[in-house]
């Protein structure tokens, strides 16, 4: 019995030494933990290990050498999973979390698309300012812009997810949320890359007025305004019409844009119905809450003056017709334009 106990003690010492050899240095235990927190975690893990080794009942003295070696390997494996989560798997987990949010409340999905859109649509290719790259839409100064009314609720709702995935920037979170929402609501898969770095200075917020207005008083002026706004970002007529297809989702709210109603009868399904309805229904002028918009014969659907401009301008109308006739083409062109929108002004992104 003495010999057996001595052998077991030697084996346990070897087991601890082997385990310690595989424990990474404290600074790399978790890349996103402060040194003090990492040291505390290491002490905690060591304490748990000691409890496990000390918790052997008398009958366990007769455990085989092989069983002890397997236990040692499991101990080493337990420490190996403490290494930092790879960027890819972390993003996969974030995608899953965002999809769960949309699945639980499909009406929130279109708001996430709007958040991603508005965080990106401030880019100016001449001054190289704006865009999604710095995550500035979270600042109260940018949320106060007229076109962003109501988006403070979306920013607040995403805050718990940001806290859970602390190593992901706000800029990456907001743009990925838009992509995930589109896919979750039946839209195309959109290429997305990470690596945006948040600004910590509200001075990086761009001036109000960079997002498109819904009405400039008359169709020709509204069309010119759309080309000016999107041209500033580097988009052509085809891309403008493709991005407008996001109006397949959601509805206008009087406490946000001031306009009222959905564009389609399926506001939580991403499809090409927006274009079909735009072309084939009779849209009549309708003023609601002092805002000029259009209504369909049923009075249940609406279009903005900027929507109607797409069928009044021949340069835009041919793309409306193309997307109404071919949803696959719309999906492909939208996916390309939306990725371009979200990456305006960024650099060093990686898949």
Does 15 qualify as catalytic in the annotation? Answer: no
Catalytic residue among 118, 145, 225, 247: 118
- The DSSP line for 238-305 is HHHHHHHGGGGS-EE-TTTTS--EESSS-TTS-SSHHHHHHHHSPPEEEEETTEEEEE-TTSS-EE-H
**How many residues does the structure list for the chain?**
351
Catalytic residue among 117, 192, 263, 283: 263
Q: For residue 194, give the nearest of 182, 179, 206 by alpha carbon.
A: 179
Does 118 qualify as catalytic in the annotation? Answer: yes
Cα-based torsion angle of the residue sequence 291, 296, 299, 305 in order, rounded to the nearest 10 degrees: -10
Buried b (16+ CB within 10 A) or exposed e, 159-181: eebbeebeebbbbbbbbbbbbbb
3-state secondary structure of 122: coil
Q: What's the N-to-C CA distance of the chain in angstroms?
A: 60
Taking the CA atoms of the chain, what radius of gyration do you get in angstroms? 28
- Gap between the Cα atoms of 84 and 38, Å rounded: 12
C-beta contacts of 144-149 below 8 A and 24+ residues apart: 144/208, 145/208, 145/209, 145/211, 146/208, 147/118, 147/208, 147/211, 147/212, 147/213, 147/257, 148/118, 148/211, 149/255, 149/256, 149/257
Q: For residues 288 and 260, is the Cβ–Cβ distance under 8 A?
A: yes
Hey, what are 347's tokens? 């650099």
3-state secondary structure of 88: helix
Q: For residues 273 and 324, is the Cβ–Cβ distance under 8 A?
A: no
Hey, what are 247's tokens? 């109006």
Hey, what are 26's tokens? 């404290």
Catalytic residue annotation = 118, 263
């Amino acid at each position: 019995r003495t010999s057996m106990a001595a052998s077991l003690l030697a084996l346990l010492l070897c087991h601890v030494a082997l385990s310690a050899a595989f424990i990474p240095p404290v600074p790399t235990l978790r890349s996103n933990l402060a040194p003090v927190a990492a040291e505390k975690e290491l002490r905690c893990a060591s304490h748990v290990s000691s409890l496990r080794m000390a918790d052997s009942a008398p009958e366990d003295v007769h455990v085989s050498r092989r069983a002890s070696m397997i236990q040692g390997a499991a101990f080493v494996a337990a420490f190996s999973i403490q290494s930092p989560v790879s960027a890819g798997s972390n993003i996969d987990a974030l995608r899953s979390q965002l999809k769960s949010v949309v699945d639980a409340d499909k009406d929130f999905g279109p708001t996430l698309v709007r958040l991603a859109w508005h965080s990106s649509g401030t880019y100016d290719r001449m001054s190289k300012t704006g865009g999604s790259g710095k995550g500035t839409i979270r600042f109260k100064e940018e949320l106060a812009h007229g076109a962003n009314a109501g988006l403070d609720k979306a920013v607040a709702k995403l805050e718990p997810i940001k806290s859970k995935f602390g190593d992901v920037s706000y800029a990456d979170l907001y743009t990925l949320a838009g992509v995930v929402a589109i896919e979750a609501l039946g839209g195309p898969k959109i290429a997305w890359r990470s690596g945006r770095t948040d600004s910590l200075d509200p001075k990086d917020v761009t001036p109000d007025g960079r997002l498109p207005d819904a009405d400039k008083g008359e169709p020709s002026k509204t069309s010119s305004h759309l080309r000016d706004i999107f041209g500033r970002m580097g988009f052509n007529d085809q891309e403008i019409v493709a991005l407008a297809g996001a109006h397949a989702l959601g509805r206008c709210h009087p406490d946000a844009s001031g306009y009222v109603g959905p564009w389609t009868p399926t506001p939580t399904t991403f499809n090409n119905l927006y274009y079909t309805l735009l072309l084939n229904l009779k849209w009549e002028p309708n003023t609601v809450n002092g805002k000029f918009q259009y209504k369909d014969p049923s009075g249940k659907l609406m279009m903005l003056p900027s929507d109607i401009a797409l069928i009044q301008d021949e340069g835009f109308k041919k793309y409306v017709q193309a997307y109404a006739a071919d949803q696959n083409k719309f999906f492909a062109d939208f996916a390309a334009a939306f990725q371009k929108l979200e990456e305006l002004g960024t650099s060093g992104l990686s898949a």
